Amino acid sequence: MDLPEGKNLLGTFYQPRAVYIGLSFLKTLSEKDLANGLAEIIKYSIIGDHNLFEFLEQESDGIKKRKPSLMESLVGRSCKIKADVVEMDEKELGLRRILNFGHTLGHALEAASGYGLSHGEAVSIGMVGAANISHRLDYLDMASYQRIVDLIKHYHLPTKIPAGMETAQIMGFMATDKKAVGGQLHFVLIKKIGAPFVTPEIPPGVVVETIEALQG
């Protein structure tokens, strides 16, 4: 549940008995809603499957046209990645945190925008931010960082923070993030596409520099 203080701060755990996916429903989505969903699929590719990342790069024309065979592959592979992670860490005590790639900054941007930014838009910017931090700390090479930015742009998702959002405001919302432990934020970063890790060891100045670099 979202609160004025931040995103996803209240909730309970209930596992589904089954998951049903009607791929024909994708045909009814607006271009914006489709892009929002693709933002999460891009996330899964970055944290879990370099081959899926390449698939998104190479099959973009067909994906944008919602070719059924391509959509089936995307949905199936994405569900497999998430299911594998959740099965190993149901309550987000360790491994499952990698699913939050892009969400630490993304949730703060949603809140700072008064939820005017959609979830997919905010997470897209957040993924660029996390990749940017990864590069600034010498974990991620520039070529991989640029591939991530280019892929997000290619699916008509934002990579810059909209004007009007102040750095202090964004940092304030991040401080209330549910993933903060003992008041310390844990960022999901990447060493390469498909190789994420979680760390609390991010100098605050680096986060500020990244936010300022992404402000459009």
Query: pLDDT by residue (tens digit) across 79-128?
Result: 988 888 777 656 555 566 788 899 999 999 999 999 999 999 999 999 99
Q: Which long-range contacts (C-beta less than 8 Å, at least 24 apart) are formed by 111-114?
A: 111/2, 111/5, 111/6, 111/7, 111/173, 112/165, 112/166, 112/169, 112/170, 112/173, 113/162, 113/165
Q: Which CATH architecture has domain 29-214?
A: Up-down Bundle (1.20)
pLDDT of 158 > 60? The answer is yes
8 A C-beta contact, residue 44 and residue 52 = yes
Q: Find where tokens 């810059």 sit.
A: 160
Positive or negative: CA dihedral 197, 203, 208, 213:
negative
Cα–Cα distance list, 31 to 35, 66, 197 (Å): 6, 10, 32
**Can you give the residue ranges of every domain in the chain?**
29-214
pTM: 0.88
- Give me 86's structure tokens: 């959740």
- Residue 97: its pLDDT value, please? 79
